[in-house]
Copies of this chain bind each other. A is one copy, B any other.
């Protein structure tokens, strides 16, 4: 169970570069398309693998939209939640210390262990709302 260092491949660098450039959340397929259009084509399987590896290493965040697609984003470190635009993916990280304590307290009160929570706020950002008139 020794932690193996992942290899520094062109594909791994390309995926990381996209995540670095992108501002908001994006799906694996969107990232795959962006790579294709940049001429740095990477196999879809490889995109998925590298994204999963980054999630496992806690280097990026993942969440599911209403359609069940998984979206990825390079976030700041530490526990936080997101305010996400459904149209363009623009994201604002939010911290809610009160919510954290409340969630843990609720679970504890009812004898639940190994507790985690999901909390995301979805909406339409000002720019997308303006362009939708």
Contact = CB atoms under 8 A, between A and B. Distances in A.
Contacts of A118: 118-120, 122
A21 B115 CA distance: 26
Number of copies: 2
Interface of A: 64, 68, 70, 83, 85-86, 92, 94, 96, 98-99, 102-103, 106-107, 110-126, 129
A28 to B, nearest CB: 13
Given A117-B120, A117-B122, A119-B117, A102 B98 contact: yes
Nearest to A111: B126
A116 B122 CA distance: 5
Contacts of A96: 99, 102
Contacts of A83: 106-107, 110, 112
A102 B83 CA distance: 12
Contacts of A99: 96, 98-99, 102, 119
B102 A112 contact: no
Contact of A107 (B111, B115, B121): B121
For A119, A123, A129, which residue has the most chain B Cβ atoms within 10 angstroms? Answer: A123
Given A68-B68, A92-B110, A110-B92, A121 B98 contact: no
